[in-house]
A and B are shown apart, each in its own frame.
Chain A
Amino acid sequence: MMDGGLIQPGGQESERTAGVRIEPGRSYGFFTDTTLCIGCKACEVACKEWNGLPADGEMRLTGHSYDNTGALGAETWRHVGFVERMDKRPGEMKPFQSDWIMFSDVCKHCDPAPCLEACPTGAIYRSEFDTVVVQQDICNGCSYCVPACPFGVVEVSKADGKAHKCTLCHDRMKGGLEPACAKSCPTDSIQFGVVEELIERAERRVEALHEAGQDQAYLYGAPGTPGANAGIDRLNAFFLLTERPEVHGLPAAPTRPAARARPSFLSGLATVAGLAAVALIVGVGGRR
């Protein structure tokens, strides 16, 4: 049967762990809720374990709160950030961990995806689950996806010379399994599901937080919200934040790089054509 291994006796495991069936042709993503994150880094560990990713180099302490991972990269596809607020006293704090903010960052699986639009080999493609994946057998390490990414996510590995980033556990999804980070998250700060359903759920969560007194909660990356308001339609992995995006190193209004390609090229060609006309007037080895 042409089910791609997705049909299992007793249903898919994802239906039991995430309450969602995984079927090709639908959009899947993550809803990451910073108000629920406790900074346990189970997502980082589960991601490294499942994807067989090596350590990021030598063990070192950054001094940046409990963040000793540093950044997303070729070998780190989930990264938990820690921001400690020292400026408020107990009693002045808003509810829901507003003074020690933990945030599990990941590839946003943008739509449209700047890395994919930059990729000249077709190694980066949009999968049957509407995720953005690098095909390791095609990537030739040209590195153009790296500056294209508005979030500093994708990186070319020094070990193998190919671009790497989160695949939304493409292999697990093929087998009907929820991605490793979401499955391991003990507080459901990371939720996996169909993007449209996740957005609805996230909007309800924002309302509930507002009612509970956390009036700064907002979505980042849902259509029309910060992160998806200046050329990128939506981030299939989106977030609930309570601070400005920059506090987490996120751009408030990332743009679509490909939109600049044609205007720039036309400007360059017009200049060259103008100078060619000047050359004809001056003469290029002209008649006497």
Chain B
Amino acid sequence: MKDTPTYHDRPALKPSGFDVRVAAYVAILGTAGAAQLLALLADREDPDDREGIAQGGRALGLAGALLGSVVLIGHLKTPKRWYNMLRILRPQSPMSWGSWLLTGFGGASFLAWLADSIGWRRGARMAQVPAGIAGAGVATYTASLLAATSNPLWSAAPGPLAAQFGASSMAGGASALALLQRRAGRVRSAQQLEDIARLALIAEWVAMQATEGRWRKEGVAQPIQEGTPALLEQGGGKALGMLAPLVLGAIGRPGLASAAILAGGALMRLAVLRAGDASAQRPRDSLHFARQRRP
């Protein structure tokens, strides 16, 4: 890679400018989407917890869709034209599917919440089905959105990165529900959710190893191994988001463990976004990466 020429060491690509708001959106919708999916799977015949998880999922889904939309619209450089996102559906563009998935997810979450709050349980369960399915979509499409760019770091590992984001979303969704269940004093289902979150963390760790391995192999790993992104990834994503929850869980602080998983997941997304924009501005990385794509 050292012998890759560049044009006066000038960047050959432009950074996206996706800032902390986009990272927040990815984390919020990941958590809300996974919570709705878990709520769809929740066993409503549980004598201890008739509708607790389902209601928690609906609340998280609706709040996440509303908050996420506000954050995302705020990120647009011409926010008053946000509605143009729903002008077309473009199958090649994950941002286009994402806009529709978010709309569907928010709509179904609202209907499920509304039906539940007027006591129409059957209606709530019916709306829960599309909400849970769209939840799986919003929990994972953001990684496809990054993969479908020309950014070396984002596009080098499309499959593993999506697995990493999806698993992180499931860990976050289960942790958010666990926090709600603990607050309501439903300890047994909270413990189940904490177990699910821990298993999702293991899956995330495995996917992360695959992603990082691909980054190193392609010679694009440098931006996430140095500076702020490295701190966010190692200190936030791994130490706070993976190691700390295991320790906190073991010493009997499950609430803090769940909070650490949520915070760590958000910082991991921020690390990937920041490192990607740094990656775009490293001409040797991007030009070497592009040369390796020759048929």
Residues on A facing B (Cβ under 8 Å): 62, 64-65, 67, 70-71, 73, 81, 83, 114, 117-123, 138-144, 146-156, 160-162, 226, 229-231, 243-244, 246-255, 257-265, 267-276, 278-280, 282-288
Contacts and interface: CB of A to CB of B under 8 A. Distances in A.
Nearest to A64: B8
Contacts of A138: 81, 84, 87
Main secondary structure of the interface of B (DSSP, over half): helix
A83 B78 contact: no
Interface in B71-90: 75-79, 81-82, 84-85, 87-88, 90
Given A160-B78, A246-B287, A276-B41, 20 more contacts: A64-B8, A119-B90, A120-B96, A139-B78, A142-B75, A143-B18, A144-B95, A146-B15, A147-B13, A147-B15, A161-B78, A246-B291, A247-B6, A249-B12, A251-B291, A254-B290, A271-B167, A276-B37, A285-B48, A285-B186
A67 B286 CA distance: 22
A286 B195 CA distance: 13
Contacts, number: 302
Given A120-B95, A143-B18, A246-B287, A152 B12 contact: yes
A216 to B, nearest CB: 14
Contact of A261 (B17, B43, B99, B148): B148
B158 A143 contact: no
A258 B294 contact: no
Contacts of A246: 4-7, 12, 283, 287, 291
Contacts of B186: 285
- Ranked nearest first, the 3 interchain pairs of A and B with the lowest CB-CB distance are A141-B77, A268-B140, A251-B290
A118 B14 CA distance: 15
Interface string B176-219: 00000000001001001101100110010001000000000000
B245 interface: no
Contacts of A71: 10-11
A265 B192 contact: no
Contact of B14 (A67, A121, A147, A162): A147
18 contacts: A140-B78, A142-B76, A146-B17, A147-B13, A152-B11, A246-B5, A247-B7, A251-B12, A252-B287, A252-B293, A257-B150, A258-B92, A262-B144, A264-B143, A268-B162, A268-B163, A278-B199, A285-B46
Contact of A255 (B18, B97, B140, B150): B150
B77 to A, nearest CB: 3
B291 A267 contact: no
Given A143-B18, A287-B45, A118 B78 contact: no
Interface string B131-156: 00000110111011101111100110
B144 A64 contact: no
Contacts of A250: 12
B38 A279 contact: yes
A113 B79 CA distance: 25
A251 B42 contact: no
Contacts of B93: 117-120, 144, 258, 261
